């Protein structure tokens, strides 16, 4: 089972990167295979960081997280499994979405691009995730 972390700090980046890495390291037992981070400063000057610990199950080679869309405006950390991700992937490809990986995580990113917050209604499975939309500046 993987693990996800996140932090938003209204005082900018003071100590925030260190805190994000500490939190993510603290859940190493949930995902010993890999870790990844996404960090940014919001338009309001807040620090936002997402962390991920990975237990490799699906798409072992290219399933590293956080995962993003092609133009790096949507970022995702995800834990769980989307049972119907293959069918959703085909549907999204038919709508013109281009996938770089075979992971169920990337399906979530493209579903969010296509359907917005309502994308969650499409997913069958057990999961938790956080999406940062850089354009809309929403988590």
**22-65 tens-digit pLDDT:** 999 999 998 888 899 999 999 999 999 999 998 776 656 666 89
**89-98 tens-digit pLDDT:** 999 999 999 9
Is residue 52 situated within a structural domain? yes
Catalytic amino acids? 2
- Domain of 18, CATH number, reads 3.60.20.10
| DSSP one-letter code for 29 | G
Is residue 139 situated within a structural domain? no
> What domain count does the chain have?
1
Which domain range does residue 26 map to? 3-133
Q: Which residues contact 89 (CB under 8 A, 6 or more apart)?
A: 99, 107, 110
Is residue 39 situated within a structural domain? yes
Is residue 109 situated within a structural domain? yes
Is residue 85 situated within a structural domain? yes
């Amino acid at each position: 089972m993987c693990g996800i972390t996140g932090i938003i700090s209204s005082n900018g980046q003071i100590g925030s990167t260190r805190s994000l890495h500490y939190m993510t390291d603290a859940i190493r037992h949930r995902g010993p295979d890999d870790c990844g981070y996404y960090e940014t400063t919001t338009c309001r000057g807040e620090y936002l960081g997402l962390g991920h610990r990975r237990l490799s199950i699906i798409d072992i080679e290219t399933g590293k997280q956080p995962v993003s869309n092609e133009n790096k405006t949507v970022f995702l950390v995800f834990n769980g499994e989307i049972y119907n991700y293959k069918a959703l992937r085909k549907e999204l490809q038919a709508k013109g979405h281009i996938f770089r990986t075979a992971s169920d995580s990337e399906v979530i990113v493209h579903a969010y691009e296509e359907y917005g917050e309502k994308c969650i209604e499409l997913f069958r499975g057990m999961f938790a995730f956080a999406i940062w939309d850089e354009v809309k500046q929403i988590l």
